[in-house]
Amino acid sequence: MTKIIFLDAAGTLFDVRGSVGEVYGKFARSWGVTVSNEELNAAFFQSFSQSNPMAFPGKELAKIPQLEFEWWQAVCANAFQRAGVFNQFSDFPKFFAELYAHFATAEPWFVYPDVLPALNRWQQQGIELAVVSNFDSRIYAVLKALNLAEYFTSVTISTEVGAAKPQSQIFTAALQKHNCLAENVLHIGDSFKADYCGAKNAGLNAIWLNRQQEKLDLGKLDLIYFQKIEEFASLDFI
C-alpha cells in the first residue's frame, strides 16, 4: 500500500520554457553576445552531462549555496566556451549571477498540465507527497513561485544530502524524514537511470515518467528492470 509518493522536480513537475539554450541566449544577447539558441542548447547539455554530479559530501550546510553557484557557473561557462562566444562577455561572473538568480523565479519555468490534477488527487486520497531531486537549493524558491510548495511535506536534494540520484543515500535520507518503510513508498521521475533504477535499488517502488517516450535498449539492462518496467507518459493514469 502506497503511503507516500516521492516526486522528482525538473522534468517531472516542471520544466524550462522553450529550452535552456533559448533562456541562455536571450540573456546573452542582453549583454551584447549573439549566439545560436540551438547551438547553445546543445553545448549546455554536453557540458551538463560531462560534469560531476551536483553533490558535495562532507561539506558544511552553510557552504552549500556557494558551492552550487560555482558548480553551475562552471557548467554555464563551459557551455558558452563550447559555443565559441565566452570571450565576448565583458563581465561573465556578473552575467552569470543575473542568469542564476533568474532560474530561482517562476519566469523560466512551466508546470506540466498533468501535475496539479495529480497532486490534488493524491492529497484527497490521503497520500503524503515529497520531493526528491538532484536540483540545488533554489528548488525551495522555485516550488513556492510555481505554487507547488504547499503540496509537499518534505524536500530532499542532492546538494544537501551529499549524494545524487541514482545513489541510494538520497532516497534513504528522504525516507528518514517520513518514518516509513521503503516498500510503502512510490518514487516517480522522468529519468530511467536516476529515478527508476535509483529508487528500485533503494528498495522503493518506482514509476518511470517517460514524458519524452524514450526507447530503451533492453539488451543492456539488468533482468530485474526489463521483466516489467512500470512506465507512463503522464501522471494522468498513475
pLDDT by position in tens, the chain (length 238): 679 999 999 999 999 999 999 999 999 999 999 999 999 999 999 999 999 999 999 999 999 999 999 999 999 999 999 999 999 999 999 999 999 999 999 999 999 999 999 999 999 999 999 999 999 999 999 999 999 999 999 999 999 999 999 999 999 999 999 988 999 999 999 999 999 999 999 999 999 999 989 888 765 555 455 567 889 999 998 8
Furthest-apart CA atoms within the chain: distance in Å: 57
Residue with cell 543575473: 98
Cα separation, 73 vs 160, whole angstroms:
19
**Which residue, among 16, 15, 13, 17, has the nearest Cα to 151 in the 3D structure?**
13
Quote helix, strand, coil % in the chain, to nearest 5: 50, 15, 35
Q: pTM for the full model? A: 0.93
Using DSSP, how many helices (H) and how many strands (E) does the chain show? 10, 8
CB atoms within 10 A of CB 24: 25
Beta strands 205-209 and 128-133: pairing type?
unpaired
State in Å, rounded, how far the first CA of the chain is from the last one.
Answer: 14
Q: Name the DSSP class of 52.
A: P
CB atoms within 10 A of CB 52: 8
Q: Give me 26's grid cell.
A: 536571450
Q: With contact defined as beta carbons under 8 Å apart, do 121 and 236 qualify? A: no
Cα separation, 141 vs 110, whole angstroms:
14
Cα separation, 57 vs 61, whole angstroms:
10
